[in-house]
Amino acid sequence: MKILSMITLLFLSLSVGAQTKKLKVEPNHSTIGFNISISGFSVVTGKFTAYEISLDWNEKLTDSSKISAIIKVESINTGIPERDEHLQSADFFDVTSYPNITFQSDSIKKIDYSNFEAHGTLTMHGITHPFILPFQIVKIENNTIGISSKTTLNRLDYGVGSDFNHSSMPNFLSDEIELEFHFWTKRRKE
């Protein structure tokens, strides 16, 4: 009887483990966007167009799920090439020294039916801090999962533009950056 129970437990654990989907974000159907207030008068929006994001997703064991992201800073696009070049410079992201923004989750916590939090570390401009990424599952069909997220971060926590001063306007840039992500996944080839 004891052996039968052990075999049953082993079978159940293997069947649960088999439900982990190895996915990646499809950039053609996804967006990593941001916006920042300019002196309280206006808002500049932008996005990053080059990135690799993988997701190991287990719907039954979300604690064992993982998100890993590498965003290429040189792909920043605000619609004005001169501004993008300035953002890539040492005044802001310093893309030569720090070419990537990375996020690695340690755990994913289920908040309710469709809302989750990825707890991990975010590294930007050579500085790493703990970071919680809230997200929502908007739709699931086989290996295609729709994920949406809205959150904020303080750019000064990561030293982005901390020494930049506008020539005529103090507090030209907001410290808070609003982030908005929309992801579409597909199966990842291992």
Does residue 1 belong to any structural domain of this protein? no
DSSP-assigned beta bridge partners for residue 69:
53, 103
Residue 135: domain span: 19-187
Percentage of the chain beyond pLDDT 70 is 89
Quick one: how far is CA 148 from the chain centroid? 10
Q: 78-107 burial, b for 16+ CB within 10 Å, e for fewer? A: beeeeebeebbeeebbbbeebeebebbbee
For 125-181, write each residue's pLDDT tens digit: 999 999 999 999 999 999 999 999 999 999 999 999 988 877 676 778 999 999 999
User: Could you tell me the CATH number of the domain that includes residue 58?
Assistant: 2.40.128.110
Q: How confident is the model at residue 9 (pLDDT cuts 50, 70, 90)?
A: very low
Does residue 61 belong to any structural domain of this protein? yes
Does residue 100 belong to any structural domain of this protein? yes
Number of structural domains found in the chain:
1
Residue with tokens 């990646």: 24
Does residue 42 belong to any structural domain of this protein? yes
Q: Quote the pTM value.
A: 0.86
- Measure the N-to-C terminal CA separation of the chain; round to a whole number of Å: 39
- How is residue 76 written in tokens? 């920043």
What value does the mean pLDDT of the chain take? 90
Q: Coil, strand or helix: which one is 24? A: strand
**H or E element at residue 56:** strand 51-57
